[in-house]
Amino acid sequence: MEFARITIDPNKMVGRPCIRGLRIPVATIIAMLADGMTEKEILDDFPDLEPEDIRESLYYVAKILEEHQPQVRKSA
């Protein structure tokens, strides 16, 4: 899958994946969703964002997790 809305520029945000060259990291969007914010609340906080940016952020993180298979400790 190609991510047209996710950009990585070593000169912006220390090379962290961001939305469309803006200084809005994908991780920030994901954290806001994890905190329970709605799409509307996120879009209100970041007027430059579009709904597709939020969806692509989720797909991007899902793809990274799929490819890297992070190790998680099993609970007892």
In a domain, 23, yes or no: yes
In a domain, 76, yes or no: no
Q: Residues 42-56: pLDDT tens digits? A: 999 999 999 999 999
71: Cα within 13 Å, side-chain hemisphere: 1
CATH code of 62's domain: 1.10.10.10
pLDDT computed for residue 4 by the predictor: 95
In a domain, 35, yes or no: yes
Find where tokens 């090379």 sit: 15
In a domain, 24, yes or no: yes
**pTM for this prediction:** 0.85
What is the span of the domain harbouring residue 61? Answer: 6-67
Burial of 61 (0-12, 13-18, 19+ CB in 10 A): middle
Structural domains of the chain, count: 1
pLDDT at 75 over 90: no
In a domain, 30, yes or no: yes
In a domain, 58, yes or no: yes
Any idea what the Cα angle at residue 51 is, between residues 50 and 57, rounded to 5°? 95
Full DSSP string of 16-63: --EETTSS-BHHHHHHHHHTT--HHHHHHH-TT--HHHHHHHHHHHHH
pLDDT computed for residue 1 by the predictor: 63
